Amino acid sequence: MSNPNRYSENPVELPLDGWLVEGHPVRGCKPCAASHNKRDQALKRNDWRAAGAAAADIRSHKQSH
Ligand SMILES: [Zn+2]
């Protein structure tokens, strides 16, 4: 939670479990970047399920580095 205001453009749409869409992609890692992009796209259309899944991919991929 280093950047809690990151999605403040949609304050009303923030899910209760904001951490579900948190995740920090590793610079230079293609799978991370792809998941990060997926999450951004999902957040733009307020698709929390997809955003959460993409964020989970980012978090779990940390162990692959
Ligand atoms: Zn990665």
Residue 47 is predicted with a pLDDT of 94
Own/partner contacts of 31-36, CB < 8 Å, gap of 24 or more, are 31/57, 31/61, 31/64, 32/58, 32/61, 35/61
Find the 6 Cα to ligand 1 centroid distance in Å. 21
Give pLDDT tens digits for 1-38: 555 566 555 555 555 678 889 999 999 999 999 999 99
Find the 55 Cα to ligand 1 centroid distance in Å. 11
**Residues 57 and 37 sit within 8 Å (Cβ to Cβ):** no
Give pLDDT tens digits for 34-45: 999 999 999 999
Find the 35 Cα to ligand 1 centroid distance in Å. 9
Find the 5 Cα to ligand 1 centroid distance in Å. 23
**What pTM was estimated for this model as a whole?**
0.71
